[in-house]
């Protein structure tokens, strides 16, 4: 049986990526340019690029194009986990996209983790963390509202949870515990991380505490499995 043309194009592009013609972070030629090169329509090119994306070789950025996937980001999990510092230490440029800031009553799990009364107010921050412009994690952070009035406004202003907490008087906090679970990306998570539905993700659920051991944050993070290497770091 003859190999489909889209598969041949995908193979050619894979070999060129492997040979270093396109390096991690490089943008591939446009669909129109690839269609002209291979003498096919853009739908065929799109099929080939989708096959590369499913294998984790490339990822698309809306309005920007298709890029060769970066090497996995080394991400230490220790007593002090700071996204910005971790990504910088891996030699990449960190950024964050805040997608939700909301005040609401806590649920039962949040109440236990943060030592709150049932239904007590919490402030929720959600977003996507990126390294060199590539999504590597989606996150949800939940904070006791009474402890941090004005937190949501500070997050919207700074774009950083750490900076927002510092502006409200919490300059340091440490991780009391982290639980890791392997999952498969549902359609919403897959869209946020720019991965295929069912792609492997690693979920971490962590409780951060202040210097007196009082819980200040319940954080859940979903890491794109093919883009992040989680390491357990022994930190002071």
Residue pLDDT, tens place only, 196-209: 788 889 999 999 99
pLDDT in tens, 59-101: 887 788 898 876 677 777 777 767 778 778 777 788 899 999 9
Q: How many residues are there in the chain?
A: 236
Q: How many CA atoms lie within 13 A of 204 on its CB side?
A: 26
Q: Is the pLDDT score of 10 beyond 80?
A: yes
Q: Which residues pair with 121 in a beta bridge?
A: 105
The residue assigned the tokens 């005040």 is 103
Name the residue among 121, 130, 76 with its Cα closest to residue 99.
130
* pLDDT at 73 (0 to 100): 76
pLDDT in tens, 132-167: 877 889 999 999 999 999 999 999 999 889 899 999
Instruction: Kindly report which listed range (39-43, 83-87, 125-129, 168-172) carries the lowest average pLDDT score.
Output: 83-87
Retrieve residue 113's tokens.
């983790």
Name the residue among 20, 50, 51, 48 with its Cα closest to residue 34.
48
Q: Is the pLDDT score of 229 beyond 90?
A: no
Domains identified in the chain and CATH numbers:
5-68 (1.10.10.10), 73-232 (3.40.1410.10)
Name the residue among 83, 77, 74, 76 with its Cα closest to residue 163.
83
pLDDT in tens, 11-31: 999 888 878 898 888 899 999
pTM of the model: 0.73
Coil, strand or helix: which one is 178? strand
What is the percentage of the chain residues whose pLDDT exceeds 90? 55
Q: Give the mean pLDDT of the chain.
A: 88
Q: What is the DSSP string of 92-156?
A: S-EEEEEEEEEEEE--HHHHHHHT--TT-EEEEEEEEEEETTEEEEEEEEEEETTTSTTHHHHHH
Cα–Cα distance for residue pair 87/150, rounded to 1 Å: 27
């Amino acid at each position: 049986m003859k190999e489909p043309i889209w598969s041949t194009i995908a193979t050619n592009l894979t070999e060129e990526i492997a040979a270093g013609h396109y390096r991690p972070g490089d943008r591939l030629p446009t669909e129109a340019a690839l269609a002209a090169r291979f003498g096919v329509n853009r739908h065929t090119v799109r099929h080939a690029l989708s096959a590369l994306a499913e294998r984790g070789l490339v990822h698309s950025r809306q309005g920007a194009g298709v890029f060769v996937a970066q090497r996995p980001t080394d991400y230490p999990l220790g007593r002090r986990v700071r996204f910005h510092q971790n990504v910088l230490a891996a030699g990449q440029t960190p950024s964050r996209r805040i997608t939700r800031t909301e005040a609401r009553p806590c649920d039962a799990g949040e109440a236990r983790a943060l030592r709150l009364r049932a239904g007590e107010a919490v402030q929720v921050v959600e977003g996507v963390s990126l390294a060199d412009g590539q999504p590597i994690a989606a996150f949800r952070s939940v904070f006791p509202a009474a402890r941090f009035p004005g937190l949501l406004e500070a997050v919207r202003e700074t774009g950083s949870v750490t900076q927002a907490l510092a502006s409200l008087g919490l300059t340091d906090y440490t991780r009391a515990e982290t639980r890791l679970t392997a999952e498969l990306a549902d359609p919403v998570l897959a869209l946020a991380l720019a991965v295929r539905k069912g792609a492997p993700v690693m979920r971490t659920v962590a409780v951060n505490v202040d210097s007196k051991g009082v819980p200040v944050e319940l954080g859940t993070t979903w890491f794109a499995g093919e883009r992040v290497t989680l390491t357990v770091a022994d930190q002071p």
